[in-house]
Amino acid sequence: MSSRAMYYAIKVTGGREVDVALLIESRSKALGQEVYSIAILPDLKGYLVVEATGPEAIYNVTKELKYLKKGAPRKLSFSDIELFIKPKPAIELIKEGDLVEVIAGPFKGMRAVIVSIDRAKNDVELNILESEFPLTIKVPGDYVRVVRSGEG
Amino acid sequence: MSSARRARVKMKPFKACRNCKSLVDREAEVCPICKSTNFSEDWEGALFVVSPEKSEVAKALGISRPGRYALRVR
């Protein structure tokens, strides 16, 4: 039972999540505490999720830590944080007409507009804006990053 | 001093490898894990893995070595 991981949400100063996580990481290594991982969840400002064997490990690594806010660590279940850690495929976030930046391949660094999306093949068709003649190419969905949404 | 401090607060301490999602120092030119040179400054969320063999979160994400990883890299 004691070796099973439990999850605790710790409240910290907003914007200092990385600093606190680095401190907890080095402390848990130095003190040999049973901390397995520290997660900074996107969209959840001011909280850290620490995976550890139990509350005593959390207490030992967070004792007198800077940027820590008052309050007992809250226990979470894996299903609570699962939604945050599982990444959405990049292609789900792209819409036709979006202005994107190509981030890999021979057209890396260029801006383009999405013409069509093939979700089954994970491909997107782009119109490269920086070329002198109309140039339409097909690249994998993870090769682009949305700069601005096209419609609304 | 205040401007230096402000800059430190604003800038993220790491950049993320687009290939293996690991977080590396901003000065690094090659990813120490996968030797890729494709980095991104635009990342969100992080996971610091201490014991990959015991961590359920690391297993769920398919991480097998300790280290620092980004959850979303753009």
Residue of A nearest to B60 (CA): A86
For each of chain A's 152 residues, which pLDDT tens digit applies? 445 788 999 999 988 889 999 999 999 888 887 899 999 988 788 999 999 998 888 888 888 888 888 888 889 888 888 878 876 677 778 889 999 999 888 988 999 999 999 988 889 999 999 888 989 999 988 888 888 877 65
Count of structural domains, chain B = 1
Task: Determine the distance in angstroms separating the CA of A67 from the nearest CA of chain B, rounded to an integer.
Answer: 14
Question: Is the Cβ–Cβ distance between A100 and A144 less than 8 Å?
Answer: yes
Burial of A128 (0-12, 13-18, 19+ CB in 10 A): middle
Question: Is the Cβ–Cβ distance between A33 and A60 less than 8 Å?
Answer: yes
CATH number at residue B49: 2.20.28.90
- The Cα–Cα gap between B53 and A47 comes to 24
ipTM: 0.81
Determine the structural domain holding residue A100 and report its residue range: 90-148
Q: Residue B68's beta-bridge partner residues? A: B48
Are A80 and A111 contained in the same domain? no
| Strand, helix or coil for residue A119 | coil
pTM flag (> 0.80)? no
Write out chain A residues lying below 8 Å of B55, CB-based: 5, 36-37, 51
Count of structural domains, chain A = 2
Q: Using a CB–CB cutoff of 8 Å, tell me whether A132 touches chain B.
A: no
Are A16 and A73 contained in the same domain? yes
Domain boundary among the residues A85, A106, A123 is at A85
Q: Using a CB–CB cutoff of 8 Å, tell me whether A147 touches chain B.
A: no
